[in-house]
């Protein structure tokens, strides 16, 4: 365990040095995070210009969902996104061998290899904006709801990691599937809206494609859903998805034969 964190902290130090060197990249990451927030709020404004509720959710509920989605997205980007998305390219080019022969989990090394400081700053900014949103809009929530909401955000990160890992693991069977990132991005479009909007395949979003845990269930807590019940479902769903993704990855590794020359 200590070794895992030692590796992680080393990668974080390297990433900080990189951020100091490539300032343009740093600003880009920061701007992208903020841009997403503005973009999603704009869409909410347009949608609620024509209705008072979307699948039973008020404008404030949707805005809370946007914050839940964005904060968990930035958490995922900060610690895992850029690392885990390398997997398909590493497998395709044969560079995965380098990680496999090292005396530590290849998955861990790859997943934590790209820490992103701008995303951490975005998490802070989003938390401040979310607090302002709660204070200024009079969104009626209790302290226990807020605590449960916060405690469920890591579950969203777990679910995101699981989805990305399962998709990236396809590279063990198929050549050159680096565009899975685009599929992931398009799936994220679904997660930014209430699952009830996609009524005909809502069950899928809680099971096979666990997008309901990326912000929906967290926001439902704020809307008055039962705390313990929703929390257990969210963590069970996210952890279940992670186990399935790890299983796919493990089976994939057994299929892996080096592609390097």
Partner 1 sequence: MMRFSIMKMTVKSKIVYRMRLVMWALTTIVWVAVYPLVWLAVYDGQEILRGFSTTDILTYFIVIMLMDFVVTSYADDNLSVDVRDGDVSNWLLKPISTPQFYFYYNFSVSLPMTVIAFIVALAIAVFSPVPLSYPQQWLTLPVIVLFMAVGVGISFNIKFMLGCLAFWFEEIRMVQYLYWFATSLLAGWVAPLVFFPDWFARLSEVLPFQYTLYVPVMIALEKYTPALLLNWGTIAACWLVVSWIARRVMWKRAIRRYNAVGR
CA atoms within 13 A on the CB side of 138: 0
What phi and psi values does residue 85 have, to the nearest 5 degrees?
A: -70, -10
Per rule CB under 8 A, is residue 25 in the interface with partner 1? yes
CA 259 to chain centre: 30
Per rule CB under 8 A, is residue 55 in the interface with partner 1? yes
Q: Which of 16, 31, 203, 243 binds partner 1 (CB under 8 A)?
A: 31
| Least separation in angstroms between CB 73 and partner 1 | 14
Q: Report the 3 state secondary structure along 33-99.
A: HHHHHHHHHHHHHHHCCCCCCECCECHHHHHHHHHHHHHHHHHHHHHHHHHHCCHHHHHHHCCHHHH
User: How many residues appear in the chain?
Assistant: 261
Q: Which of 14, 42, 207, 258 binds partner 1 (CB under 8 A)?
A: 42
Q: Residue with structure tokens 């565009």?
A: 179
| Least separation in angstroms between CB 85 and partner 1 | 14
Binding segment (CB under 8 A) for partner 1, from list 9-17, 128-136, 139-147, 186-194: 186-194
User: In this complex, which beta carbon is closest to partner 1, that of residue 155 or of residue 180?
Assistant: 180
Q: How far apart are CA 70 and CA 66, in angstroms?
A: 6
Q: How far apart are CA 37 and CA 64, in angstroms?
A: 11
Q: Report the SS3 class of residue 20.
A: helix
Residues 73-102 that bind partner 1 (CB under 8 A): none
- Taking a C-beta distance cutoff of 8 angstroms, is the pair 77, 116 a contact? yes
| Least separation in angstroms between CB 105 and partner 1 | 26
| Least separation in angstroms between CB 138 and partner 1 | 25
Per rule CB under 8 A, is residue 255 in the interface with partner 1? no
Per rule CB under 8 A, is residue 121 in the interface with partner 1? no
Residues 166-185 that bind partner 1 (CB under 8 A): 170, 174-180, 182-183
| Contacts to partner 1 by CB under 8 A | 22, 24-25, 27-28, 31-32, 35, 38-39, 42-43, 46-47, 49-51, 54-55, 170, 174-180, 182-183, 186-187, 189-190, 193, 196-198
């Amino acid at each position: 365990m200590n070794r895992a964190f030692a590796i992680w902290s080393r990668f974080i130090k390297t990433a900080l040095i990189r951020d100091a060197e490539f300032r343009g990249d740093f600003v880009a990451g920061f701007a992208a995070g903020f841009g997403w927030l503005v973009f999603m709020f704009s869409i909410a404004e347009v949608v609620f210009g024509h209705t008072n509720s979307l699948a039973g959710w008020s404008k404030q509920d949707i805005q809370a969902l946007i914050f839940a989605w964005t904060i968990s997205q930035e958490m995922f980007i900060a610690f895992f996104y850029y690392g885990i998305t390398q997997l398909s390219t590493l497998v395709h080019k044969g560079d995965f061998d380098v990680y496999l022969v090292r005396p530590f989990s290849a998955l861990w090394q790859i997943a934590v290899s790209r820490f992103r400081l701008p995303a951490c700053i975005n998490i802070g900014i989003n938390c401040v904006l979310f607090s302002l949103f709660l204070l200024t809009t009079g969104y009626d929530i209790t302290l226990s709801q807020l605590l449960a909401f916060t405690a469920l955000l890591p579950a969203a990160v777990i679910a995101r990691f699981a989805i990305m890992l399962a998709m990236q693991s396809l590279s063990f069977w198929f050549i050159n599937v680096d565009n899975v990132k685009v599929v992931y991005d398009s799936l994220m479009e679904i997660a930014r809206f209430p699952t009830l909007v996609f009524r005909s395949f809502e069950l899928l979003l809680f099971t096979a494609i666990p997008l309901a845990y990326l912000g929906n269930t967290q926001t439902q807590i704020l809307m008055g859903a039962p705390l313990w019940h929703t929390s257990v479902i969210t963590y069970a769903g996210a952890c279940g998805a992670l186990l399935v993704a790890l299983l796919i990855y493990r089976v994939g590794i057994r299929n892996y034969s080096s592609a390097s020359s």
